[in-house]
């Protein structure tokens, strides 16, 4: 008879468990000189910072100065930085953060996951393990450095998860601009910091209410302002998971509370009827596009498309988002 003692999740079973153990060890060795260099720099910055009073949003975190410097360099030429300087570095999530990713994907019962920044595939393995345990799905992950992406494919194969992962080789600004089959249940941003906002803009039309967004090192002020503004459809918080590790500063967990882009797409499909404001209430009543439980009519009012999209949560407008 099958009992709960027989059950093992994919993450803690073979071949995933030993593959991750091996990769984390390799990552530690490969990134050791880089980590040592950064911890020296951090010490120097810390001393300098104690004397300095001015704190901007980008200086909210204790190791921000090193990251701010990286950011400056990245903004000059992110391709050069990631395809040369960091081409052999893992820059991967810690086991603790990976475990957190697995748990988020299980909690969201995610079937469609997108990852910006594959590197050697460590975080991809945590996410794909969750897909396996959720009953299947697809992880689309993207990596600009071809040699890393090819090795990531091998690592994911060693973990027995290749059937769940599509690694797109190239710049996320191109590879994530198209080719999504359904709504994204969970997205992980862990690539070039300066591209978080443009990459997010590519993904937003595919979000749904409740989509989970995890941003590693979300340290760019414009990005934080965007996801911390409820009017943009997010509820967002800094999280402390993995904070003990220098790689894991400034992580952010966000959920999509409503989605303007997704509403616009849906409304675009019905633009003929919507443009005739008088027909909106009748159309809403009869149309299956509104049966997803996301929009409902609160008053029998005629509405312009603009008002629906701009103030979807405002019940006075006649339509509300639930
Ligand atoms: C922090 S590492 C990702 C670590 C990985 N998520 C893990 O935990 O194993 C960031 C990766 O993003 C890649 N990257 C940076 N900019 C990119 C871009 N524009 N498009 C695709 N990948 C990019 C880098 O080459 C690098 O391998």
Question: What CATH number has the domain bearing residue 2?
Answer: 3.40.50.150
Same domain, 212 and 280: no
DSSP assignment letter at 42? H
Q: How many domains does the chain have?
A: 2
Domain boundary (259, 280, 304) is at: 259
Same domain, 95 and 76: yes
C-alpha 24 – ligand 1 centre gap (Å): 16
Listed residue (249, 243, 118, 116) closest to 186, CA to CA: 116
Q: From first to last of its 322 residues, what are the pLDDT tens digits of the chain? A: 667 777 889 999 999 999 999 999 999 999 999 888 888 877 777 776 666 655 555 555 545 567 778 888 899 999 999 999 999 999 999 999 999 999 999 999 999 999 999 999 999 999 999 999 999 999 999 999 999 999 999 999 999 999 999 999 999 999 999 999 999 999 999 999 999 999 999 999 999 999 999 999 998 999 999 999 999 999 999 998 876 666 667 899 999 998 876 666 555 444 433 433 434 444 444 443 443 333 444 333 434 443 444 444 434 334 433 2
CA distances, 232 to each of 8, 112, 148, 194, 226 (Å): 39, 22, 34, 19, 7
Ligand 1 contacts CB of residue 212 (under 6 A): no
Same domain, 30 and 154: yes
In a domain, 265, yes or no: no
Q: Given this model, what pLDDT does residue 289 score?
A: 42
Q: Select from 80, 117, 169 the residue to mutate for testing ligand 1; criterion: most ligand atoms less than 8 Å from CB.
A: 117
Domain boundary (236, 259, 282) is at: 259
Same domain, 199 and 283: no
Same domain, 55 and 122: yes
Ligand 1 contacts CB of residue 126 (under 6 A): no
Same domain, 229 and 274: no
Same domain, 287 and 221: no
Q: Which residue has the CA at smallest separation from atom 2 of ligand 1?
A: 91
Q: Select from 82, 170, 189, 248 the residue to mutate for testing ligand 1; criterion: most ligand atoms less than 8 Å from CB.
A: 82
C-alpha 87 – ligand 1 centre gap (Å): 10
C-alpha span between 75 and 194 (Å, rounded) = 6
Q: Given this model, what pLDDT does residue 296 score?
A: 40
The whole domain housing 64 covers 1-259
Q: Select from 192, 195, 241, 245 the residue to mutate for testing ligand 1; criterion: most ligand atoms less than 8 Å from CB.
A: 192
Q: Given this model, what pLDDT does residue 248 score?
A: 67
Domain boundary (259, 284, 307) is at: 259
Q: Which atom of ligand 1 is nearest to the CA of 172?
A: 20
Ligand 1 contacts CB of residue 122 (under 6 A): yes
Q: Which phi and psi angles does 63 have, rounded to 5°?
A: -105, 20
The continuous run of DSSP H or E covering 30 comes out as helix 16-50
């Amino acid at each position: 008879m099958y009992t709960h003692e027989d059950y093992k999740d994919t993450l803690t079973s073979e071949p995933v468990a030993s593959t991750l153990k091996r990769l984390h060890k390799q990552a530690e060795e490969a990134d050791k000189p880089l980590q040592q260099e950064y911890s020296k720099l951090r010490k120097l910055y810390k001393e300098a910072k104690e004397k300095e009073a001015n704190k901007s949003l980008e200086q909210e975190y204790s190791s921000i100065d090193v990251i701010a410097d990286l950011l400056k360099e990245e903004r000059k030429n992110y391709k050069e930085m990631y395809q040369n300087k960091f081409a052999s570095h893992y820059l991967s999530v810690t086991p603790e953060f990976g475990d957190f990713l697995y748990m988020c994907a299980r909690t969201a019962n995610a079937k469609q996951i997108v990852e910006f920044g594959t590197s050697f595939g460590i975080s991809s393995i945590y996410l794909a393990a969750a897909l396996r345990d959720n009953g299947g799905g697809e992880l689309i992950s993207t990596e600009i450095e071809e040699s890393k992406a090819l090795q990531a494919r091998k690592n994911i194969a060693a973990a027995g998860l290749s059937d769940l992962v599509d690694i797109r080789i190239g710049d996320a600004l191109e590879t994530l601009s198209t080719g999504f089959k359904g709504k994204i249940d969970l997205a992980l941003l862990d690539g070039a910091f300066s591209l978080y906002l443009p990459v997010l803009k590519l993904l937003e039309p595919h979000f749904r209410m409740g989509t989970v967004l995890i941003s590693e090192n979300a340290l760019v002020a414009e990005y934080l302002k965007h996801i911390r503004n409820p009017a943009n459809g997010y509820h967002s918080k800094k999280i402390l998971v993995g904070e003990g590790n220098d790689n894991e500063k400034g992580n952010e967990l966000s959920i999509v509370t409503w989605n303007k882009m997704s509403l616009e797409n849906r409304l675009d499909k019905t633009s003929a009827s919507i443009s005739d404001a008088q027909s909106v209430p009748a159309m809403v009543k009869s149309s299956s596009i509104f049966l997803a439980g996301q929009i409902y009519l609160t008053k029998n009012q005629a509405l312009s498309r603009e008002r629906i999209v701009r103030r979807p949560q405002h019940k006075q407008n006649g339509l509300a988002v639930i």
